[in-house]
Structure 1
């Protein structure tokens, strides 16, 4: 009788849950694609492929799975049709997106400045991938320093050498991030503690687009970024176990939301106003990720 019950439980478990396991490759070169963010469409479930392009994802019923990687067309697949190998199609790069020329590095301008000491709230990433984006509007004064040189982000991490990805997006007619202006991963590494993490992109020779652009911070749900911790629920002494994926990113409070977006569940949406924050400085404000951008000629 006990054996029969065990068999029934196993059968029900297999019906209720499906473990997706696959490797993602480029459909032209057949090379494995690392750091692909993977979502269950319209749900807060997802993961990231590792450095070998491999991933595992548990779902409770047939779902639409979304695959998003820099330089590749976004792909949506019914989970039941996912095989051991998934192929993504490279995106066509416009010739005018990356302008290569000789340039003299004798003039610079930093925009989006923030004070590290004044920031004490962060965007933390749980078990699901997110992308947080901030729009940088073009101004005429950038004409003398048109090249993107350095990106500086306030990070906080409990993990040594936690990795994240930077995406650079164009803006569409709805004001949303859309289409890449650079088609490869820009991987940043954050050390432990509260730090300003700098990414040098000067060698990419990218000009500041005249219609502005988005800098997006993409968390990576990979083993090297995992941080496990204990916490207690309010009015309870019982300890709970939590997992997040570092690094966290610093947030600046703003009265209006003119440039902040979040990508989750396969969709872009504008950042909402904070409610019930303990900090007066952040309560009833909009969060803007703390990013500085250095321009050079």
Structure 2
């Protein structure tokens, strides 16, 4: 009888431990130097597509993670961090020192415009990268013709959302490394953008940054943010991450990379992860 009771107690304790280990993980991410919260940071289970995103207060809830998982944060401007998940996590990111290229000061006149076009009319785009927590980065090789218009003026991207409320996503520019791959050097500011329901063209004005095109090439990155308010559910599926990102209509040279968990997947492997390997649809305005 006693053995039977002890067996039941052991079973109950085992169930409690199991439930606890698979329960929701939470945490807060701050800057180690300033102590300020860092918003819209992606937190991943290492080497997986399972992730979450911090909110405006630097807080995150991670329903798909469990105590003991190896979590990873790779956020440009900070040292990459791995840590073992606890029930509640206090995370402090250390800013990185980036060696800057030699700066050549050229006055910006903003008189002449050149456009690198990916699409003519945004409503004619019919293909999109849908559900999935990842970043998409499109590579642009430097061309001699850019010398006449060396500054970024505007970036435009085509976005679609099924939610009635506004959906947030992130957009920025990073430098290409010497091999033409995404580097860890961010060139522009992070832009947190919003889109309404339906298919829209969202434009970022970069004029105030006076940002010059790097001669080694660059990537325009669109980040999908895994926030509760960015998830759509219907009768067919639940928690479909929004927004969807438009693809180029033409089957041009494939220059779009996919990023998650601190790594980048090359264009020739993109289809296996995202269902297509077309370029994301981006229009760029350059100025003198």
C-alpha displacement of 1:95: 4.0
- Among 109, 120, 133, the alignment partner of 2:137 is 133
- The range that moved more, 37-46 or 115-124, is 115-124
2:229 aligned counterpart, secondary structure: helix
- Among 170, 178, 191, the alignment partner of 2:175 is 170
Structure 1 pair 229–25 and aligned structure 2 pair: CA distance change class (3 A): same
The answer for the alignment partner of 1:279 in structure 2 is: none
Between the aligned partners of 1:99 and 1:190, the Cα distance in structure 2 is 36
C-alpha displacement of 1:84: 3.5
- The range that moved more, 132-141 or 163-172, is 163-172
C-alpha displacement of 1:253: 5.2
The answer for the alignment partner of 2:278 in structure 1 is: 287
The structure richer in strand per residue is: 1
1:28 aligned counterpart, secondary structure: coil
C-alpha displacement of 1:79: 2.4
Residues 55-103 of structure 1, C-alpha deviation per residue, up to 9 Å, x if partnerless? 12242462321112232222122325x8642110112244448776642
Between the aligned partners of 2:104 and 2:73, the Cα distance in structure 1 is 29
Contact kept? 1:71, 1:184, Cα under 8 Å: no
Q: Does 1:210 align with 2:215?
A: yes
The answer for the alignment partner of 2:49 in structure 1 is: 44
The answer for the alignment partner of 2:38 in structure 1 is: 33
The answer for the alignment partner of 2:155 in structure 1 is: 151
Between the aligned partners of 1:93 and 1:100, the Cα distance in structure 2 is 19
1:9 aligned counterpart, secondary structure: helix
Structure 2 gap segments, 5+ residues each: none
C-alpha displacement of 1:123: 0.8
Between the aligned partners of 1:23 and 1:247, the Cα distance in structure 2 is 25
2:242 aligned counterpart, secondary structure: strand
1:288 aligned counterpart, secondary structure: coil
Matches within 5 A, 1:183-222: 184-222=189-227
C-alpha displacement of 1:6: 5.9
Matches within 5 A, 1:207-246: 207-231=212-236, 241-246=237-242
- Among 106, 112, 116, the alignment partner of 1:111 is 116
Aligned length: 275
Give the TM-score taking structure 2 as reference length: 0.85
Q: Does 1:62 align with 2:62?
A: no
The answer for the alignment partner of 1:9 in structure 2 is: 15
Give the TM-score taking structure 1 as reference length: 0.82
The answer for the alignment partner of 2:258 in structure 1 is: 262
Between the aligned partners of 2:75 and 2:192, the Cα distance in structure 1 is 13
Between the aligned partners of 1:87 and 1:99, the Cα distance in structure 2 is 35
Structure 1 gap segments, 5+ residues each: 232-240, 276-282
